[in-house]
Every structure is written in structure tokens, then in C-alpha cells.
Chains A and B, each alone.
Chain A
Amino acid sequence: MNSARPPPHKRQVAESSLDFLMMQVVTYFLHGPGAAAYVPPVPSAVPDGNALPPPPLLSPADAAAAAAETRRRLEGVGYDVGHRLVERYAVEKERMDSDLEAVKFVCRDFWEGVFKKHVDVLRTNHKGLYVLTDNKFRWLGRVWADEDSEEGGAGAVGADGAEVGGAIGGRGKPEDYVVFPCGLICGALTRLGVRCRVTAEIAGGAQCKFSVQVIGG
């Protein structure tokens, strides 16, 4: 039916498909059943196969730990994807000789492949810290926060037509959408031989700074 189908590594899909999937993945882990499921203690059994039991009430410390855990899980999915994906961009490259080379590769080839541009600024303190600044981070380009001031508007939320099983626990925030990329970058770098920890900071609008701290070495 489609004889001119390109080879697997050249195939494309609509970016919208990934955007919509990502929304649901993030919601699942941070605000949906994936978050509820991971609040300690982990429910060991699912009573009648319908839904996971509601999470127990937590102390603030436990709640913070649970929130960190849900983020770690989402990051883990990103890590997994980055780890596998980087091979496809690095397939013809020699093994990187230095951390800097690996980081540069991620800033150019990998970034281009995933986020459709290069990192704008790369800085390092030469002690294992690399700061990657993307002035227009693609995955934040669709994330628009509300006005801060709540002006009373007409209209109320009803159950009718609402999304199901998703929006438990609020609407989320822009920071939710850089958790997965942190894992993605960490997974890619680790695969290239750089063990590291990656954190992100949104610097206003779609500008995002990723800090890569090399571990050990």
C-alpha cells in the first residue's frame, strides 16, 4: 500500500502525536494513577481489579518524598528513552574521548534530533559541571501558564466532558514538562560514558537551563 516507505530511522510522525502522548505520560506519573500508585506504602494488591486504592494521608515529609519519587519515575522513563535513542544518532561516531566531547555531541546532534535545534549556550566550570542553555526549548513552547491573578470569571467546571482519570491533583505546572527531558539527557550521556545527574531550571518563557553534574571520575 505504501511502497515508498522510508527506512525505519528516517520515518516520521506528527509532532502533535508526541506532544499529546507526553501530556498523558506526565499526567500519569505526576498527577494521575501513576502518582497515587507510588505513594508509600505501595498497595500490594488491587482489590477487585478496578482501581488502585486511594493513597493514605501523608505527613509533609512523606508527601515530599512521594513527590520526589514520582518525579524520579518519570525521569526514569526519559532516561530509558535517551539511553536507547542516542545510539541511533551516535551510530557512526567513534566512542567519545572526553566528557566534553560527549556533552557537545548531545548539544548538537542529539538535541537536533529530538528538540529540532542546537543548544544555544554551553558553559562549564571545568570541574564536571556543564550548563546547557536552550533559549527556546521546544518542549516548553506549548506550555502556557495562566495569568497569576485570578480574576473571577463566569463558567464552572462540571463533570460533563471532563477528561477522565487524568487531572487528579490539579493542573500541573511548567516544571512538570522538563522532568522527562532531564532523564532523556541523562540517559543519553550515560550511554556515551558520562555518568551524571541532570537538573533543569526554567528561566522564564521557554528558556531552559539544564545542569549536568558529572558523577565520580
Chain B
Amino acid sequence: MSKASLSKLGDAAFERTDKVSAELLALTYGSFVRQLLIDYEDAEEVNAQLAKMGYNIGVRLVDDFLAKSNAPPCASFADTADIVAKVAFKMFLGVPALVGSWSSDRRTFSLVFTDNPLAEFTELPEKWGGVWYSNVLCGVIKGALEMVQMEVDARFVRCTLRGEDLNEIRVTLLQVLQEKPPVDDE
């Protein structure tokens, strides 16, 4: 399926879905992250906790996505990348992402987006420079793809809250999971 028609699919999925104001999501997420900063007092731990929560979201969200998006099946990791960027980002966050910077072995790509609905009203104090504010997204990607048998690593490498002009998540395919045959206990 061409990228243009995937974009259309993403627009249509977002059009169909029930929506809420982006502010409500952004403020809820922001207040929650603030509480995590207080609870953990450590950027790395906050990043890990956000990724863990994202994972738990991803393993559920993927079924919602598959049931509602009409996305075509993925024949390759490149297809998966486009579907995540053009259809899933658009459907859940209202903004698509771009896919780029493929590694030469075609196992790593970047998701790039400028508008980030999670961080709409946020400024991170300098002392929290080590926090990847939107790290929950990495967890969501990891959890969702794992459910469709792709074990990936996903991590932020650029974030607008750190003064960069765009957000970038690097996604690496670690392995395609194989289905285990059922255990036969005689």
C-alpha cells in the first residue's frame, strides 16, 4: 500500500474515532509525570516507569488499533514502520509521524514528528534535563509491536522539550518472535 493511501487510512481512522480535547490528555499526562518526578526523584527511573506504563498501554492498544484502523497486514518491517507512523500516530494522537533514517541493514528507523500533543503545554525545568518527557510513547510502540511478534527497542533521541526542533524515536527490530508450539504433557 502506498504511503499516500496509508495517510488517507490514518485520516479516516482518526475521523471515525471518538475524540477528546488534546488539552485534557496533555494536562493529565503532564500532571502524572510531575507526580512521577516527585515519587522517583531520578530521571532514569522516571523514564523507565513511563516506558513500563507505555508497554502496558501498547499491549492493549494494539487490538483497538487492529479492530478499528483497517490497516493492511504488514509483510515487512518497513510496512510496519509506515503503518505506525501514518496510521497509528494519526489515529491515536491526531498527528502523523514521518519515517526516515533507515539503517543500512533495514532494521532500525526513526519516527519523526514536530507536533507532540503530549507535550503541548510543557516546559521541563533544567534539573530534569535527563527526562524523556514523552517516553511513554516508546513503551507503547514496544508493547504494541511485541503483540504482533516483533520485539523492538524504541528510544527517544531528540525531543522538542530539550530545545531540539523535532522529536525523534529510534526503533530497532531485535527479533521476530516465533510462536511456541503447545506443550504436550502426554
Contact with A along B137-167 (1 / 0, CB 8 A): 0000000000000000000000000000000
Q: Chain A: interface secondary structure?
A: helix
Contact in complex: B21, A163 (CB < 8 Å)? no
Contact in complex: B20, A13 (CB < 8 Å)? yes
CB-defined contacts of B80 to chain A, threshold 8 Å = none
CB-defined contacts of A81 to chain B, threshold 8 Å = 24, 27-28, 31
Complex Cα spacing A150 to B60, Å: 25
Given A2-B115, A46-B42, A77-B35, decide whether A13 and B61 contact each other with a Cβ distance below 8 A. Answer: no
A22 touches which of B18, B28, B93 (Cβ 8 Å)? B28
CB-defined contacts of A114 to chain B, threshold 8 Å = 20, 24
Closest to B114 in A: A1
The size of the chain B interface, using a CB distance under 8 A, is 44
The yes or no answer to A113 lying at the interface (CB within 8 A) is yes
The yes or no answer to A144 lying at the interface (CB within 8 A) is no
Closest to B44 in A: A49
Complex Cα spacing A27 to B54, Å: 13
A2 touches which of B23, B24, B28, B95 (Cβ 8 Å)? B95
CB distance from B53 to the nearest CB of A (A): 4
CB-defined contacts of B174 to chain A, threshold 8 Å = none
Given A21-B57, A24-B53, decide whether A11 and B94 contact each other with a Cβ distance below 8 A. Answer: yes
Complex Cα spacing A164 to B142, Å: 13
Question: Which residues in chain A, 4-46, are within 8 Å of chain B measured between CB atoms?
Answer: 5, 8-9, 11-18, 20-25, 27-28, 33-34, 37-38, 46
Contact in complex: B31, A77 (CB < 8 Å)? yes
Size range of the chain A interface in the assembly: 35 or more
Closest to B32 in A: A25
Contact in complex: A164, B56 (CB < 8 Å)? yes
Contact with B along A109-127 (1 / 0, CB 8 A): 0000110100000000000
Question: Which residues in chain B, 71-119, are within 8 Å of chain A measured between CB atoms?
Answer: 91-96, 98, 114-115, 117
CB distance from B28 to the nearest CB of A (A): 5
Among the interface residues A16, A27, A77, which one has the most CB atoms of the partner chain B within 10 A? Answer: A16
CB-defined contacts of A24 to chain B, threshold 8 Å = 53, 56-57
Contact with A along B10-33 (1 / 0, CB 8 A): 000010011111111101110110
Contact in complex: B31, A85 (CB < 8 Å)? no
In the A-B complex, the 10 residue pairs with the smallest Cβ-Cβ separation, listed nearest first, are: A11-B22, A12-B19, A15-B18, A80-B31, A24-B53, A20-B57, A81-B27, A77-B31, A163-B56, A14-B17
* Given A15-B19, A33-B39, A77-B28, 20 further pairs, Cβ under 8 A: A5-B115, A8-B22, A8-B120, A9-B23, A11-B120, A13-B25, A13-B92, A24-B56, A34-B35, A46-B45, A80-B34, A81-B24, A81-B28, A84-B27, A85-B23, A85-B24, A114-B24, A161-B59, A163-B56, A166-B52
23 pairs of residues in contact across A and B, judged by CB atoms under 8 Å: A1-B98, A8-B120, A9-B23, A11-B21, A12-B21, A13-B19, A13-B92, A14-B20, A17-B93, A20-B57, A20-B61, A21-B28, A21-B136, A23-B57, A24-B56, A38-B39, A76-B35, A77-B28, A77-B35, A80-B31, A81-B31, A113-B24, A164-B52
Residues of chain A touching chain B, judged by Cβ–Cβ distance below 8 Å, are 1-2, 5, 8-9, 11-18, 20-25, 27-28, 33-34, 37-38, 46, 49, 73, 76-77, 80-81, 84-85, 88, 113-114, 116, 161, 163-166
